Structures are given as structure tokens and as C-alpha cells.
Structure 1
Amino acid sequence: MLNDLPTIGAALTVPDLETLAPWIIEGQRDVELQDFIAIEMLDGDWNPVVRRALDLLDGHEGRLGIHGPFWGFSIDCPDPEIRAVIQRRLDQGLDICAALGATHMVVHSPFSTWDYNNLDKDETARERQMVNIHLTLNAAVRRAESLGVVLAIENIEDKNPLDRVALARSFNSKAVAVSIDTGHAHYAHGTTGAPPVDYFVRAAGDLLAHVHIQDADGYADRHWPPGEGTINWKSVFRALRESPSNPRLVLELADNSRLREAGDWLIEQGLAR
């Protein structure tokens, strides 16, 4: 049944909304705005961009979020002076969420391939990393709670899909959850020996709040439309249907002019609406 299918949304920029807003509003699709990852945007006047987004999304009743700042830093940074800069960037992202009425902000995972192979050779390494992450994020989590925003921690190099789940759960807060980027998971599966994408979905369980839908070849971060790479989409959407959560599913492509085409492909495959 069509009504039983998940609704596919889109990660895009405000200029993309100029053409895609009607499709989004007609289907009441979830939206993630990605304009605010740009450093010059964070340090400039982003208010006109927010106002234009709200104008274009007039009548939109789907869920709205942003991709948070991430360039040049990791949330497990041990240096207090650099941590202060990271906290300021996260706060800027939450300022934008407040202005938009956005309810999710994507934050990048700190877990690297190096971590997978090295953290457990030192019995204190994981604890130190967790302390550093909490020192970085605690203030942002408290503010996110007050704003009704979920910080969705997205896999980047993650090889063990349970690492982010344990991290999100460690905050004991409804404001921290898990994001999955399907292409990143497929890269990790093909290149570093991580489990396949559907395992990432199942590992997230009830903490899965958000998914970037993109196809890849298992070698690089391609951001191709679904169907152009080698991800087994039937297994991914089967796992999503069995998920106890209701994650936002947003297409995240290298070429946003193909968002509608990519959405149509998933619809034609009977995977989404």
C-alpha cells in the first residue's frame, strides 16, 4: 500500500527550493537545508537565507532540519581552545535552527577507521574519547533540548555501527540520536570491511532519527542517485520498514538537479512514496 511506504525527502539548498518547493510541499516531504555548512555563511548574515527558505516553504508541514557545521573539526577534540571554536560553530547552527524552527541538526561522527583498529589497545582510550565528546557537546545538547532540536550523529568513517549508538545513548537525552548516510556506510563496507548498510539501520534501532539516501560503489563517497551504484536498496528499505523509529529519509546527492529524478526512481521501485 502506498500509505505504508516511507516518504522520501530531500537535502538541498535554498536556491534548489526555487524549483523543488512545489514537489516538496505537495508530498509534505522532510527537508534538510545544507546552506549553513558554509563557513562564510556562518560568519555572515544568514537571516535573508532563512527568510527566503521560510517563504518558499510556506504550506510545508513535513519535518525541517539543517546539516550542522562540520568543516575542519572533530567533536572528540581534546584541545580546550579548539573545542571552544567547535562549540561556537555548533551554537551558530542552533541559532539557525531556532530562526527556521528546524527540529534536527546533523553532526558528524568522530569515529575513524584508525579508531576502530586502535582504541581498544588502550583500556582508557574509549573513555578519554567519550569525555572529550561530552565536553564538546554537552552545552549544545542542553540547548538543543530547549529548542526541540535533535542532534543526529552521522556516520563518516564509522566501521562499527554500534559506536554511534553507544555515544548517542550516553547522553541520555531525546536531543541526541543517530543518523545514517547510506553511501558512507557502503564505502566503509566495501573499503574497510564494515557491515552492509542494512546492518547500520538495524544497529541504530530506536535511536535512528535521520538517513541520508545516496548511492555509491563501495570505494568512494559518490552521492549518486539510488540505482546508479551497488547498494542493495531492497535490503535497506526492508530494514527501514522494520525500524521501531520514524527517521527522516532525505536524498543527499552530488547533483541536486537530479533530486526529483532520484525520488521518482525510489517511488517506481515501490520503496517509497
Structure 2
Amino acid sequence: MTPLKVGACLAPHEIGDHRDWLFDADRDIELQGFSTHQDLALEFEDRIAASKAALTGFRGRLGMHGPYEGLDMDNKDPEVRPIITARYLKALEAAERVGARQMVLHSPLTRWYEWNRLNKPNYWDTKLARIHDVMMPVIKAAETAGITLVIENILDVDPASRRAMVDSFESDAIALSIDTGHAHLARRMSGAPPVDYFVRDASDQLRHVHLQDLDGHADRHWAPGEGEIHWQEVFRALSECASDPHLVLELRRKSDIPQGFTYLKRLGLVM
């Protein structure tokens, strides 16, 4: 198994602390700091400027985490849905201006959906129609900008449901993201399959991965090696994926990035 190159998720002011490791090897970076109303409305231009300054000289692949707080892609209120669309479009503008080629958005699928999808007539079709109402303008804008929206599992139980949602748009501008910690937490909380199954189900639709470890109780975002995830099997699955997804350590303590990288490197999984 060939070791894979990994990068990290960082806000602009944190990039300097890991600059040599990131820039010298052209590692993937996922920009954070464009998720809230304050980020996208009150401090928008300042955050754009800070990002461009922090990324000066960067030659690797760049992504960005989009907004998610209070923004449900499957909102049932028709007056609220346009607000969510507008927030996603504003974040997409930020991604384009800083040179990001991906933007991460959160999945709207939950255990409630999986347990109730056959409980009501047309439950899936009705849900999907709401999602399309929010997302179609964003998909069209992403196509024009050459940016791929990658949909991250949050409370997803069956990875095939999120894949079907992505497929329903019939667009290259939307693909799949996997958060390893969220997948493992769903296994412990909701009987979801193990992390490597999420990867294998996504197959070549997979374009982005958050690498984080946890104990199965909470969304810890620990460094790999501190929790329960079987990293060898996760990377076996990733090595079979032909789509070359962005691989980024998304850790709560950014100072733990060297620790997480060293652990995976010692296992022969990363370079």
C-alpha cells in the first residue's frame, strides 16, 4: 500500500504555525473561518484578505469549509430556504476569490430519516425536492466557478443515502466527503457501518476526507491514534479510491497535527 499525502484544516492565522510542513510538500489545505454570519457578512473582506496573505506561495490543493451553523439543507420552511441558499452562495464567492477548488457542506441526512424513510408515502422524494430547492442555484454557481461541493457526513447512518442524494443532481460540481470521526460515531450511536465501508461505498465519488479520531462517545476531533478508529483499514480503502480525494487532518487542537501525522506515518500510511 503506497503512503498517501495528507494536509490539514486551518484558519488563515493558523497556517503559519505549520507552513513549512504544508508548503514544502504541497499538502492539501482546507481553509476554515468562513462558516458563520460574522465570517460571511461582518468580516467578509477581512477574511478574504487574511486568507490570501496566509496562502502566498502555496502550490498545493486548496479547499474551504462552507457555512453550517443553523443552515439545514433540508429546511421545511419555504421562506427560510432562500436564506440558506444565499449563505451558501456567499461562501462560494469566498472560495472562488481565495482560489479554493472545493467547498465542504454538511449532509442533511440523519438516523431519523433512515428509520422513517418508508413510514410515509413519498418521504424521500419530498425531502429530496426541498434539498434541490436549496441547492440547485448553488450547484449551478459551483459549475460556473469550477468548484466542487463535497457533502460531509454528519449524522448519516447509511452512506448509500447520501450518495443517492449527490447522484440525484447529475452534476460533476457535487461529490462526497467523509469525516472519519463522524462515521465512527454513527457506528457506535446508530449502528452505521465502519469507517472503511463509508469509504468503499463512496468509491470514486469521494473527493475529500476529514481525518480525526475519537472514543465513540463524542465528536472529539482527536489526533489519529488517540481513539478507536482502525486506521490501517481506512487507508486500505482510501488506497483503492481512484478519485484522489483531498486528505486533511481536522483536529480540535491544531498543535496536535504533528502528533497525528507522525502516528499515521509510523504505520506506513502517509507521507
> Whole-Å Cα distance in 1 between the matches of residues 112 and 266 of structure 2?
40
SS of residue paired to 2:79: helix
What whole-Å deviation, never above 9, does each CA across 1:48-72 have from its counterpart, x for those lacking one? 3222322222222211111000001
SS of residue paired to 2:80: helix
> Whole-Å Cα distance in 1 between the matches of residues 182 and 140 of structure 2?
28
> Whole-Å Cα distance in 1 between the matches of residues 103 and 225 of structure 2?
27
| Runs of 4+, deviation exceeding 6 Å | none
> Whole-Å Cα distance in 2 between the matches of residues 54 and 73 of structure 1?
26
Are residues 1:57 and 2:55 paired?
A: yes
TM-score (structure 1 length as normaliser): 0.96
Q: Is the CA contact (8 Å cut-off) linking 1:17 and 1:53 kept in structure 2?
A: no
Superposition map of 1:219-230 within 5 A: 219-230=217-228
Which amino acid is the alignment partner of residue 94 of structure 2? I
> Whole-Å Cα distance in 2 between the matches of residues 143 and 210 of structure 1?
20
Which amino acid is the alignment partner of residue 159 of structure 1? V
> Whole-Å Cα distance in 2 between the matches of residues 132 and 56 of structure 1?
38
Which amino acid is the alignment partner of residue 201 of structure 1? V
Aligned equivalent of 2:151: 153
Percent of matched pairs sharing the same residue: 42
> Whole-Å Cα distance in 2 between the matches of residues 52 and 26 of structure 1?
21
TM-score (structure 2 length as normaliser): 0.97
Q: Is the CA contact (8 Å cut-off) linking 1:68 and 1:93 kept in structure 2?
A: yes
Query: What is the CA distance between 1:23 and its match in structure 2?
Result: 1.4
Which amino acid is the alignment partner of residue 187 of structure 1? L
Aligned equivalent of 2:208: 210
Superposition map of 1:1-273 within 5 A: 4-273=2-271
Query: What is the CA distance between 1:269 and its match in structure 2?
Result: 1.6
Q: Is the CA contact (8 Å cut-off) linking 2:180 and 2:212 kept in structure 1?
A: yes
SS of residue paired to 1:215: coil
User: How many aligned positions are there?
Assistant: 271
Structure 1 vs Structure 2 CA RMSD = 1.2
> Whole-Å Cα distance in 2 between the matches of residues 21 and 49 of structure 1?
18
> Whole-Å Cα distance in 1 between the matches of residues 268 and 47 of structure 2?
35
> Whole-Å Cα distance in 2 between the matches of residues 73 and 54 of structure 1?
26
Which amino acid is the alignment partner of residue 130 of structure 1? L
Query: What is the CA distance between 1:208 and its match in structure 2?
Result: 0.3
What whole-Å deviation, never above 9, does each CA across 1:168-216 have from its counterpart, x for those lacking one? 1111111000000000000001111000000000000110010000001
Moved more, 118-127 or 195-204: 118-127
SS of residue paired to 1:80: coil
Query: What is the CA distance between 1:261 and its match in structure 2?
Result: 2.1
Q: Is the CA contact (8 Å cut-off) linking 1:5 and 1:272 kept in structure 2?
A: yes
Q: Is the CA contact (8 Å cut-off) linking 2:7 and 2:247 kept in structure 1?
A: yes
Query: What is the CA distance between 1:44 and its match in structure 2?
Result: 1.4
Query: What is the CA distance between 1:142 and its match in structure 2?
Result: 0.3
> Whole-Å Cα distance in 2 between the matches of residues 263 and 148 of structure 1?
30
Unaligned runs of at least 5 residues, structure 2: none
Query: What is the CA distance between 1:123 and its match in structure 2?
Result: 3.0
Q: Is the CA contact (8 Å cut-off) linking 2:36 and 2:68 kept in structure 1?
A: no
> Whole-Å Cα distance in 1 between the matches of residues 270 and 8 of structure 2?
13
Query: What is the CA distance between 1:17 and its match in structure 2?
Result: 0.9
> Whole-Å Cα distance in 2 between the matches of residues 56 and 137 of structure 1?
30
